[in-house]
Structure 1
């Protein structure tokens, strides 16, 4: 699978453009994440089928509860040891316009964090025929629609620096980020977005790296995963993404094996520490969403 191959939103046409529109509407965020862009570029028929299988998991009131509790779980565990630093515009070497854009883009990442965590866990399990919905939620919220107010009117479309255009000011920061997450090369989208503003990323990373390496963040990663796995266990239905179902839909065995590897890597590899960090970064500029249902 060529993970450098992507279908960008601007190039998507026909049903692929419609699928991207549906992903953004369902995720309630102005972004089509890398996992979708590279999967559709390599195996478009798989993503068209898989999206129909997993989409309902993000449309219920029960998911709304999970999205809020995910954020609170992470931020509570982190701040329990050390307060998360926050920055006003005049404390950073960026303009007011840049600060506003930074806040809007970090709000988008805050929105997608629990959605990506659920997507990776759900698809990873489903592709390997591992149990899903073993303890189905019997309450009304399990099947009731996601209220319109959840994550409404938040976020701006993220922009990013190219892989080979990291600003010179980040020469020390990029290796530190890669080392923390256990990345051999490259940077996840969040850091390519933040690299647009070295005047924010440099002081933020200096302040946050010790916090991210603390027991508090380790606890946050574990507790966030627990919340996600419990949600997937509570689903009232089981997506049909096992090898037999995919073969019946025209996906061959080599493709299935590549997809299994991709989603297992995202669910249990280095990205496991990237996704919980997203609400932490949003908090540094007061762009995180609600932590309570009240």
Structure 2
């Protein structure tokens, strides 16, 4: 696995192009995450098999309940235990109307994707590393269809800058962001996106740093983990992603071990606070999604 090698959407052809379209349609967001792009570039056969196993998990009402609960637990924890979140208007950021629409729209895309990625990473990591998942649906929502309106017509296509393209006047903010999340490699996509609007990111980080470092945010992250764990106990079916299942599909031991390490790196460490912080940024611009069904 070479994490620097990705198959971007504009370069995808054939079944890979079709799968990317399916990923975006199923996840209801105009973006194919780095996780999928890297797997498709390095292990295309596995990426196709994995997506076939994962796709049904995103199509139930119980999944919709999970996505809004995951978001709500983070924001509710902050509302209950920290100073009010800052709320910015366009005039506060001195941006043109078109820039304002792009900023809010792209941030809304990350807000949509965050709960979906959290579940993707957790399912893959648990199935491939920690032992079997369980399927014990106990109500109609576990098998009922995902509401068609949820997260529809939200978000805009995402653009980002390279790590070496971050404006110099953001250096202090980026240093603080790296230290808070414990980042050692490149910046996560959300920050490479927000860095396109340095006036917003610099102001938001200054205002949000003490909130993100608070006990309330830590509690929100723990509560979000609990929401994921609870949903994993009631999946509509069990994806066949265990090492044994992958061996049965013809994947050799060394490939499976590389895949195990890859998915583990996404589900553990800095990614937890990166995903949950997305909701906090989105809330500052009134770009966060539903918090209940």
- Tell me the TM-score normalised to structure 1 length: 0.97
Structure 1 runs, 4 residues or longer, greater than 6 Å off:
none
Matches within 5 A, 1:23-34: 23-34=23-34
Please name the residue that 1:162 is paired with: 162
Residues 1:254 and 2:254 are matched in the alignment: yes
Q: Distance in 1 between matches of 2:143 and 2:123?
A: 17
Kindly provide the CA deviation profile for residues 120-158 of structure 1, in whole angstroms up to 9, marking residues without a partner as x.
100101112623126x12211101110101101100011
CA distance in 2, matches of 1:241, 1:2: 21
CA distance in 1, matches of 2:197, 2:130: 43
1-structure distance, mates of 2:272, 2:288: 19
Contact 2:166/2:195 (<8 A) preserved: yes
> What corresponds to 2:243 in structure 1?
243
* Aligned mates of 1:262, 1:94 — CA distance in 2: 39
Runs of 5+ in structure 2 lacking a partner?
none
- In the alignment, the residues of structure 2 paired with residue 180 and residue 211 of structure 1 have an alpha-carbon distance, to the nearest angstrom, of 11
Q: Please report how far the alpha carbon of residue 233 of structure 1 lies from its aligned counterpart in structure 2 after TM superposition.
A: 1.2
The number of aligned residues is: 292
Aligned to 2:203: 203
CA drift at 1:67:
0.8
Q: How far apart are residue 3 of structure 1 and its match?
A: 0.4
Is 1:99 the counterpart of 2:100? The answer is yes
Residue 190 of structure 1, CA deviation = 0.1
Corresponding residue of 2:117:
116
Tell which deviates more after alignment, 100-109 or 124-133: 124-133
SS in structure 2 at match of 1:234? coil
Measured against aligned partners, the alpha-carbon deviations of 1:45-85 in whole angstroms (never above 9, x if no partner) come to 00100111111111100001111111111100122222111
SS at match of 2:165: coil
CA root-mean-square deviation: 1.1
CA distance in 2, matches of 1:103, 1:42: 33
Structure 1: distance between partners of 2:67 and 2:19: 22
The 5 A counterparts of 1:13-162 are 13-80=13-80, 81-128=82-129, 130-133=131-134, 136-162=136-162
Match of 1:182 in 2: 182
- 1:162 Cα deviation from its structure 2 partner: 1.1
**3-state SS of the aligned residue for 1:32?**
coil
Q: Output one character per residue of 1:239-278: Cα deviation in whole Å (capped at 9) or x when no partner.
A: 1111121122222211211111111121111101111111
Question: What's the TM-score once normalised by structure 2's chain length?
Answer: 0.97
Alignment-derived partner of residue 194 in structure 1? 194
Q: Secondary structure at the match of 2:145?
A: coil
- The equivalences for 1:260-279 within 5 A come to 260-279=260-279
How many Å separate the matches in 1 of 2:87 and 2:224? 22
**1:291 aligned partner:** 291
Instruction: Work out the CA distance in 1 between the residues paired with 2:200 and 2:61.
Output: 35
Conservation of the 8 A alpha-carbon contact between 2:132 and 2:242: no
- Whether the 8 Å CA contact 1:9–1:32 is kept in 2: the answer is yes
* Deviation (angstroms), 1:192: 0.2
Q: Note the alpha carbon deviations across 1:86-109, whole angstroms, 9 max, x for none.
A: 100000132221111000001100
Output the CA distance in 1 between the equivalents of 2:18 and 2:45. 14
Larger mean Cα displacement after TM superposition, 123-132 or 87-96: 123-132
Q: Contact between 2:178 and 2:184, CA under 8 Å: does it hold in 1?
A: yes
Residues 173 and 202 in structure 2, CA contact (< 8 A), matched pair in contact too: yes
Q: Is the 8 A contact 1:170 1:198 kept in 2?
A: yes
